[in-house]
Amino acid sequence: MDEIKLSDDVINQIKKFYHRSLTKEQELLIDKLITDKESKERYKKYGLCKECNHPRNYIYCNYCLFQPNFKNWTSGNHDVDKFIQKVQLKAKSFGQVIEWIEYDKFENVEYLAKGGFGTTFKAVWKEGPISNWNFDNNQWERHGGVKEVALKCLHNSQGITAEFLKEVESNSLVYDSGYTVPCFGITKDPKTNDFMMVMELLDSSLRQHLNNNFISMNWKEKLFTLYTIAYGLKDIHNKGLIHRDLHCGNILSNDIHQAFITDLGLCQPANVKSYQNSNKKIYGVLPNVAPEVLRGKEYTQASDIYGYGIIAYEICTGFPPYYDIAHDEFLAMKICKGLRPKSNYKIPQLIFDIINQCWDADPLKRPDANKLYELFNNLWSNCDKKNYIINKQTNEADEINKKSSSSSSTAQLPLSSTSTLSYIAHTQAVYISKLLDFKNLPEPKNADNDNLEYSGNFIQNNYLNLFRLINILLFLQIL
């Protein structure tokens, strides 16, 4: 949202009002004079700043704290400068503030990983993010000490667009519960001139966390991970936003199984303009993209819920979705026909019922993020309590999985002789975001997995049938 300033006439009429105890007449006048919803809410909660007469965002006045410093820095890009300034003026807490940070403020920059539209490094930020404003010294206070951060380099971002930055703004505005990864600011690599997002550094991606810890995780810990993801998604959706690229690579985790959603708005190239994206190009990780989106419909909050369901199944079973088959048009077609991830690993029925609702082919039948938060909060809280159904079901699931692992040689059980998961992924199983361009996919529907061929046999059989047909035609031609 662009900056909204109150006119002098409006300020003169309301500046003597006490915002905490408005009369009915004053309330009506405020509703008439302040038409911008956000400004009205800010005024009623915090009142006007006595220095600049702007509605305050918090107990501080953002205009007085940030605007005087706008002339002291520049990123060299007009859109980036305006973006940072706007976020600073709108921030409701210091956790939502984004800064311009010169690249020489970072030390020990090391490569971490490469994604679909960016490369991540880790570094030491010598100063650290701002934590408070010192009114005695009239200057910012910072966390100080060594602060390790993640630098996400955005590919082809020399021509970064305002449309892209509008999406990136979501990273700061949704930071409420702490289960989304905060963005501290933006910097620029002087060698490549690519812009970089400066973000909180966490231990690993959720996928790496599951690879290393799944075998030792109990159901209480798995449910805690599901609960924290639902909490972060609730924050995103309650701000009226959509993630659009929810998968295990865009969720980070720590050593106590907390999960944090990241990369809002980063699921497309930084230099794509809105008119170029008007043909509904789809970017994402195929197994996590809702079937209606694969067919070209708009992303919605319900499509995020589908992605959550796939992640939930991954957390419960240990395996990446469809890890043993190619992620291609055949898989996209099968997903639209009702195929969902399948494993012999037993999941407690209460949990599986929620997952099944999340990946329903009908978006209207999927629960919303607030409901998911309530459901998993309840299951996590009662998982280790006797006489609760979830406790009984998790114990039964553990017994079944233990017996299956001792009697079965199948690779569909996440067990190995080491502490890490052991599986071999198909060479065409891709878990980084990319352009997905499929044509003439069938109308999404639900189906029984038993009636759908899951493995690569589907593709193999089609090629075999084609090979047979060619042989028959050649034979007829010879005759």
* pLDDT per residue rounded down to tens, the chain (479 residues): 445 567 777 777 787 777 777 788 887 888 788 777 777 877 788 888 878 877 777 777 888 888 888 999 999 888 889 989 988 888 877 778 889 999 999 999 999 887 767 788 999 998 888 877 777 777 778 876 668 999 988 777 766 766 667 766 777 777 766 788 888 899 998 988 888 889 888 888 999 999 999 999 999 999 999 999 999 999 889 988 888 899 998 899 998 999 999 887 654 454 555 444 445 678 899 999 999 999 999 889 999 999 999 999 999 999 999 999 999 999 999 999 999 999 889 999 999 999 999 999 999 999 999 999 999 999 999 999 998 999 999 999 999 998 887 765 555 666 555 567 888 899 999 998 888 999 999 999 998 765 555 544 444 444 444 444 555 555 455 54
Q: Which CATH class is domain 204-447?
A: mainly alpha
- Distance from C-alpha of 309 to C-alpha of 340, rounded to nearest angstrom: 10
Task: Please list, in sequence order, all residues whose beta carbon lies within 8 angstroms of the beta carbon of residue 224, skipping any fewer than 6 positions away.
Answer: 257, 258, 380
Whether 204-447 and 60-200 are alike in CATH topology: the answer is no
- CA angle 360-353-445, nearest 5°? 20
Q: What are residue 126's phi and psi, to 5 degrees?
A: -65, -35
Question: d(Cα 415, Cα 404) in Å, to the nearest integer?
Answer: 10
Identity of the amino acid at 19:
H
Crossing angle (nearest 10°) for helices 24-33 and 37-46: 140
Copy the structure tokens of residue 95.
């956790």
Write down the CATH number for the domain with range 60-200: 3.30.200.20
SS3 state of residue 299 = coil
Each domain of the chain, given as residue ranges in start order, spans 1-56, 60-200, 204-447
- Integer CA distances (angstroms), 342 to 85, 246, 298, 325, 445, in order: 48, 19, 27, 12, 17
Structure tokens at 381: 């809280």
Cβ neighbours of residue 108 closer than 8 Å, sequence gap 6 or more: 123, 124
Q: How many C-beta atoms lie closer than 10 Å to residue 48's C-beta?
A: 20
The H-assigned helical ranges of 383-456 are 389-407
What's the token pair of residue 14? 């309301």
Rounded distance between C-alpha atoms, residue 25 and residue 29, angstroms: 6
- The whole-model pTM stands at 0.80
DSSP class of 100: E
